């Protein structure tokens, strides 16, 4: 372990406080952080993660992220050891925000847990192999201009597995869809499975059809986004009618508003889909209202 490494409870004011990360019990400069080449996250993508928004040092909806992380861990049968828990990881995240001088402005907290490092074999390692925990923070700049004018999206086949409700490291279909979107000058790929829009490659998806806000139901084909869930509550509080019936590709021409949600995306209006304008070609009224209330909520809430 590098000389700079130290444990969670210790503090060291003299240490270079830029770009400190946490790996398996130690806080250390990112450049000194190491995981084994035999880590199952590296070899199999065998792990889960969370991304939490930090605004002026306060974590947004951390409780919900903790619950989802717990669920993802359980879903792929990783047991944490010792004092480790999602709540502890969030406390470590807060310490990292302090260490990295990110208590002002926007930042993100990244938490990743893999099944640990061991000789390659598909089945689970023996119990003495413990999970690898990696936690880091980073400066973040919201997509303000895009959120104002609206972004473009493309449609793309949803090639993912049957447990998209778990936030796992296995993101290859998302990566490939995102890259195709980028190459076509779009912000996001809207994923299509069995003739309906499930979600984006890194966002949840909402659309307005016949004046009603629609989104895919919470099931194994989408990630239960924290922003999605906050936004659904906000929509209800504004008496905006919400229907969890997925939008089919045949309904796309009737869609008057589209937007995406995510921890780093907020409410992102989609004004162009597959090079055709959505509705008026400008962010719609429901989208704008929800953008405003989410911004208020982000500004006021936090742990």
Ligand X SMILES: Cc1ncc(COP(=O)(O)O)c(C=O)c1O
Binding site for ligand X (CB under 6 A): 51, 174, 199, 202-204, 223, 225-228, 261-263
* Residue 101 annotated among the catalytic residues of the structure: no
Measure the CA–CA gap between 227 and 225, rounded to whole angstroms. 5
Cβ proximity to ligand X, 20 vs 226, nearer residue: 226
To ligand X, the closest distance from the beta carbon of 205 in angstroms equals 8
Residue closer to ligand X, measured from CB, 118 or 264: 264
Strand extents, DSSP E, 74-150: 106-114, 132-139
Q: Is the separation of the CB atoms in 79 and 104 below 8 Å?
A: no
Marked catalytic residue, from 167, 182, 254, 276 = 167
Alpha carbons 132 and 89: distance in angstroms, whole number: 12
**Alpha carbons 229 and 242: distance in angstroms, whole number:** 12
For residue 210, with 0-12 CB atoms within 10 Å meaning exposed, 13-18 middle and 19 or more buried, which class applies? Answer: exposed
Q: How far, in Å, CA of 258 to CA of 154, rounded?
A: 12
Nearer to ligand X, 97 or 109 (CB): 109
Q: What residue is closest to ligand X based on CB?
A: 225
3-state SS class at 243 = strand
Q: Which residue, 38 or 87, has its beta carbon nearer to ligand X?
A: 87
- Closest approach, Cβ 230 to ligand X, in A, equals 8
CB of 62 to ligand X, least distance (A): 12
Q: Quickly list DSSP for 24-71.
A: TTEEEEGGG----TTBHHHHH--EEEEEEEEETTEETTHHHHHHHHHH
Q: CB 170 → ligand X: shortest distance, Å?
A: 11
Q: Which is nearer to ligand X, 26 or 287 (CB)?
A: 287
In the complex with ligand X, which residue's Cβ is closer, 33 or 230? Answer: 230
Tokens of 255: 């869609």
What distance in Å separates the CA atoms of residue 116 and residue 37, rounded to the nearest whole number? Answer: 11
CB contact burial 234-270 (16+ within 10 A = b; e otherwise) = bbeeeebeeeeebbeeebbeebbbbbbbbbbbbbbbb
**Residue 3 CB: number of other CB atoms within 10 A?**
7
Find the shortest distance in angstroms from Cβ 264 to ligand X: 7
The burial of 10, by beta-carbon neighbours within 10 Å (0-12 exposed, 13-18 middle, 19 or more buried), is given as exposed
Query: What's the closest the beta carbon of residue 239 comes to ligand X, in angstroms?
Result: 23
Q: How many CB atoms lie within 10 A of CB 90?
A: 22
Active site residues: 167
């Amino acid at each position: 372990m590098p000389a700079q490494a130290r444990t969670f409870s210790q503090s060291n004011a003299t240490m270079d406080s830029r770009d400190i990360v946490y790996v398996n019990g130690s806080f250390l400069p990112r450049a000194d952080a190491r995981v084994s080449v035999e880590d199952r996250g590296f070899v199999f993508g065998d792990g889960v993660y969370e991304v939490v928004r930090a605004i002026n040092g306060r974590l947004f909806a951390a409780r919900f992220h903790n619950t989802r992380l717990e669920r993802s861990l359980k879903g792929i049968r990783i047991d944490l050891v010792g004092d480790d828990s999602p709540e502890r990881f969030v406390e470590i995240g807060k310490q990292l925000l302090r260490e990295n001088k990110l208590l002002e402005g926007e930042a993100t907290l990244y938490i990743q847990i893999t099944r640990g490092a061991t000789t390659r074999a598909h089945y689970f390692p023996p119990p003495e192999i413990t999970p690898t925990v990696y936690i880091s923070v980073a400066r973040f700049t919201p997509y303000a201009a895009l959120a104002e004018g609206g972004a473009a999206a493309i449609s793309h086949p949803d090639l993912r597995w049957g447990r998209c409700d778990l936030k796992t490291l296995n993101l290859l279909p998302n990566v490939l869809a995102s890259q195709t979107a980028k190459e076509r000058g779009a912000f996001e790929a809207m994923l299509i499975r069995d003739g309906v829009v499930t979600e984006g490659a890194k966002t949840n998806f909402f659309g307005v059809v016949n004046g009603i806000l629609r989104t895919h139901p919470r099931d194994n084909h989408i990630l239960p986004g924290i922003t999605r869930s906050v936004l659904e509550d906000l929509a209800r509080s504004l008496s905006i009618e919400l229907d969890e019936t997925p939008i089919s590709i045949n309904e796309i021409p009737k869609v008057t508003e589209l937007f995406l949600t995510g921890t780093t995306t907020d409410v992102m209006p989609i004004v162009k889909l597959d090079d055709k304008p959505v509705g008026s070609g400008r962010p719609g009224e429901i989208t704008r209202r929800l953008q405003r209330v989410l911004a208020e909520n982000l500004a006021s809430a936090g742990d």
